[in-house]
């Protein structure tokens, strides 16, 4: 079989050589089997052209890939504990996972979105939502670590999140499940009119990126599913798809699919800012966590916030409008010009495209077909720009290239369909293996997409890889979209369910990537930035070890005077100042993960010795030819031992 393949390939090659004098350069036909491999091959030591940030779904993580190779570089813990990096295990990062419900080491992370400047992805931050216990996280792309998490009050199933406006003025977070607001003890049967949805606008400080829940827009009790910002002329608006306009609360798969049309909610956030400025908001009591990690103190702090400003869209004119959109729309996508808003009606065969210009005209003329809880409903025909007819089954999500084309995933018919923006004609289709959910073109949600590749993220894997028991790998597929025809280049496995992704040219990000933390700027409360300051201190049963590490020893590496019942904090500073020289440390019997400490950084783990004896610790990350020698001992004496604390390195 394979031999036949080679022979055919060789034969085709020969034909091509013979007929090469009339080649017009149509390389997209994929006739030469080897071309797909060559297109994804990144030679050893060379770099990929794009970063792809693919959500880890129910793993609570965000994974970082290179395109076109599909190579995995890093898995960033966000709403998760990661023993490899001590994230959520060490004392410094535990506060990042604090919520109003206490410590929650897991969430369902869906939609990453890269910060933008002037409508273009700028590579400073990436935001991602926690769906289950509503949270928004910010990952700083100079360190590829989660540096801020804010909880969202009055929300449940934080799904239409985390999408940024075109200058990252806000990252928005809409509720999927409407709930009683404020929460109270009422019958579920009283859903209609009592359950509400909120759309939260979290401001992002232009200087330091600090997040703050600026305001929430109170909306009818629909399910707000996805969102995208206006750009260009439509900058200042945010569009949210919604379903369950039936306001059902049971047997949703039937009861929330009754209406022929649901809505895309258009929110005028510039108007919202005016209402905030003129004080027409309600201040509601709330309780939500705001967790910030500092690269100076290498420590996170968690603060509980107690109130939130709410704007009621039912009472405030001009804040919200509803655009009828067929069949429970999922993706709500805005083209690079900002003129077209695509509703991907997931129970439909068609795509509905609204016109921003027509929407403004209809609002101007006050041409409404009705209202829902005081919010005007525009006429479907008035705002419709066009329909991509019978493109496939179950449209979910559309992204755009830089040549005026849209690319839409169809879940039920399992394909990506390419269509022309403006004429709405279908140009090409490519099958996905299997059941594609979302897709991603680097910069595809911005004014400036890089129309070279599309990544399709699949919901079903089945037989595409070697089997690994009942649970098989999650999977994505890479297509070349530079030609007229899409060409499947590569399957690659992903971490957790790949719900959604964001991509960016590697050059923008890699120049800003930090190599080390400057030891001289380390402001950790328990840092030991000079070997002269190494010490061990006792405060009752609490013992603090101020330890340093460098290739290849710990200081101190012998400690005596620890007693059973003590709580020992190892505050360990990596004194290295060279790129890619982290050290690890772990202690036998410590009820936590190792630490993995970057050059110039301080981290802490807690050890509660339970048995008398002499117990070793060692470096867990290979660091030099003498890595195996990087170890130490702690002597543990009985609780009533009179032995004083002593510590040393290299003394006999």
Partner 1 sequence: MYVRNMIFIIFFEYTGTYFWGINQYVNKMKRLSVLGTLAFFSLLLLACGGKEEKPKDGFSIDRQKTTEQKTESTADNTIKASERIDLENKGVGVITSLDLPAEIDQAMAANGKELYDQLCLACHRIGKKFIGPAPNDILERRTPEWVMNMILDPERMVKEDPLAKDLLIEFNGSPMANQGLTEEEARAVLEYFRTL
Q: Binding residues for partner 1, per CB under 8 A?
A: 5-6, 9, 30-31, 33-34, 36-38, 41, 44, 253, 346, 393-394, 411-415, 431-435, 437, 459-460, 488-489, 516, 519-520, 529-532, 548, 550-553, 555, 575-578, 581, 624-626, 650, 652
Instruction: Pick the closer one to partner 1 by CB: 276 or 427.
Output: 427
SS3 362: helix
Q: How far is the CB of 94 from partner 1 (least distance, A)?
A: 28
Instruction: Pick the closer one to partner 1 by CB: 117 or 558.
Output: 558
Instruction: Pick the closer one to partner 1 by CB: 349 or 441.
Output: 349
Q: How far is the CB of 335 from partner 1 (least distance, A)?
A: 24
Which tokens go with 257?
A: 């699919």
Instruction: List helix spans (H) across 481-590.
Output: 506-510
Instruction: Pick the closer one to partner 1 by CB: 364 or 652.
Output: 652
Task: Say which residues have a Cβ less than 8 Å from residue 311's Cβ, sequence separation at least 6.
Answer: 215, 216, 217, 218, 272, 275, 276, 280, 281, 282, 319
Instruction: Pick the closer one to partner 1 by CB: 253 or 471.
Output: 253
Q: Please tell me the distance from the alpha carbon of residue 375 to that of residue 383, in angstroms, as a whole number.
A: 16
Strands 320-326 and 261-268: antiparallel
Answer yes or no: are the C-beta atoms of 568 and 524 closer than 8 Å.
Answer: no
Which tokens go with 505?
A: 């040219």
Answer yes or no: are the C-beta atoms of 359 and 377 closer than 8 Å.
Answer: no
SS3 39: helix
Which tokens go with 22?
A: 């009339």
Q: How far is the CB of 314 from partner 1 (least distance, A)?
A: 27
Inter-CA distances, 50 with 280, 404, 440, 505, Å:
45, 21, 12, 5
Residue 17: phi and psi, rounded to 5, are: -65, -45
Instruction: Pick the closer one to partner 1 by CB: 5 or 610.
Output: 5
Inter-CA distances, 47 with 18, 121, 124, Å:
35, 20, 20
Q: How far is the CB of 453 from partner 1 (least distance, A)?
A: 16
Instruction: Pick the closer one to partner 1 by CB: 141 or 349.
Output: 349
Q: How far is the CB of 177 from partner 1 (least distance, A)?
A: 12
Q: How far is the CB of 3 from partner 1 (least distance, A)?
A: 12
Q: Where are the beta strands (DSSP E) in 495-552?
A: 501-505, 535-539, 542-550
Answer yes or no: are the C-beta atoms of 355 and 343 closer than 8 Å.
Answer: no
Select from 492, 354, 485 the least CA-distant residue to 430: 485
Instruction: Pick the closer one to partner 1 by CB: 42 or 377.
Output: 42
Q: How far is the CB of 155 from partner 1 (least distance, A)?
A: 18
Instruction: Pick the closer one to partner 1 by CB: 166 or 576.
Output: 576
Task: Say which residues have a Cβ less than 8 Å from residue 46's Cβ, sequence separation at least 6.
Answer: none
Q: How far is the CB of 459 from partner 1 (least distance, A)?
A: 6
Q: How far is the CB of 390 from partner 1 (least distance, A)?
A: 12
């Amino acid at each position: 079989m394979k031999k036949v393949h080679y022979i055919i390939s060789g034969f085709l090659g020969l034909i091509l050589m013979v007929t090469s004098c009339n080649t017009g350069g149509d390389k997209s036909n994929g006739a030469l089997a080897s071309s797909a491999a060559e297109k994804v091959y990144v030679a050893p030591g060379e770099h990929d052209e794009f970063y792809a940030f693919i959500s880890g779904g129910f793993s609570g993580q965000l994974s970082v890939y290179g395109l076109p190779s599909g190579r995995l570089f890093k898995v960033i813990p966000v709403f998760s504990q990661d023993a490899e990096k001590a994230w959520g295990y060490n004392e410094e990062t535990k506060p990042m996972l604090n919520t109003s419900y206490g410590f929650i080491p897991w969430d369902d992370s869906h939609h990453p979105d890269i910060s933008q400047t002037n409508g273009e992805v700028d590579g400073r931050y990436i935001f991602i939502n926690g769906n289950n216990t509503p949270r928004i996280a910010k990952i700083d792309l100079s360190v590829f670590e989660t540096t801020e998490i804010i909880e969202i009050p009055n929300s449940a199933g934080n799904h239409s999140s985390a999408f940024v406006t075109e200058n990252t003025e806000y990252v928005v977070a809409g509720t999927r499940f409407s709930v009683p607001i404020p929460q109270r003890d009422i019958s579920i049967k009283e859903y209609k009119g009592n359950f509400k949805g909120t759309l939260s606008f979290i401001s992002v400080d232009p200087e330091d990126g600090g997040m703050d829940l600026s305001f929430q827009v109170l909306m009818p009790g629909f399910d707000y599913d996805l969102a995208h910002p206006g750009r260009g002329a439509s900058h200042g608006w945010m569009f949210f798809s919604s379903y369950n306009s039936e306001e059902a609360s049971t047997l949703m798969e039937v009861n929330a699919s009754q209406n022929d049309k649901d809505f895309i909610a258009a929110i005028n956030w510039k108007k919202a800012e005016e209402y905030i400025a003129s004080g027409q908001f309600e201040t509601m009591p709330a309780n939500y966590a705001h967790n910030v990690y500092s690269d100076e103190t290498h420590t996170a702090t968690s603060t509980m916030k107690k109130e939130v400003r709410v704007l009621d869209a039912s009472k405030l004119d001009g804040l919200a409008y509803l655009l009828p959109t067929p069949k429970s729309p999922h993706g709500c996508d805005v083209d690079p010009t900002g003129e077209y808003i695509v509703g991907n009606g997931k129970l439909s065969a068609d795509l509905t495209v609204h016109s921003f210009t027509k929407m403004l005209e209809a609002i101007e003329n006050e041409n409404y077909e009705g209202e829902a809880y005081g919010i005007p409903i525009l006429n479907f025909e008035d705002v419709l720009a066009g329909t991509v007819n019978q493109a496939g089954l179950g449209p979910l999500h559309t992204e755009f290239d830089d040549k005026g084309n849209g690319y839409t995933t169809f879940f039920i018919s399992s394909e990506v369909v390419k269509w022309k923006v403006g004429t709405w004609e279908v140009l090409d289709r490519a099958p996905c293996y299997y059941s594609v959910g979302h897709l991603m073109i680097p910069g595809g949600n911005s004014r400036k997409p890089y129309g070279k590749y599309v990544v399709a993220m699949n919901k079903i894997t089945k037989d595409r890889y070697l089997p690994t028991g009942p649970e098989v790998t999650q999977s994505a597929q890479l297509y070349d979209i530079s030609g007229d025809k899409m060409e499947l280049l590569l399957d690659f496995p992903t971490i957790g369910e790949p719900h959604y992704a964001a991509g960016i040219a590697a050059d923008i990000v890699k120049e800003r990537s930090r190599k080390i933390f400057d030891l001289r700027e380390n402001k950790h409360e328990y840092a030991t930035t000079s070997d002269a300051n190494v010490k061990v201190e006792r405060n009752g049963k609490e013992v603090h070890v101020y330890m340093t590490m460098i290739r290849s020893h710990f200081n101190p590496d012998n400690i005596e005077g620890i007693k059973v019942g003590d709580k020992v904090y190892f505050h360990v500073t990596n004194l290295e100042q060279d790129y890619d020289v982290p050290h690890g440390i772990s202690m036998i019997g410590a009820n936590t993960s190792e630490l993995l400490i970057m050059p110039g950084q301080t981290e802490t783990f807690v050890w509660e010795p339970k048995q008398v004896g002499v117990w070793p610790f060692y470096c867990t990350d290979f660091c030099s030819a003498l890595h195996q020698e990087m170890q130490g001992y702690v002597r543990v004496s009985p609780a009533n031992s009179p032995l004083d604390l002593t510590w040393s390195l290299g003394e006999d």
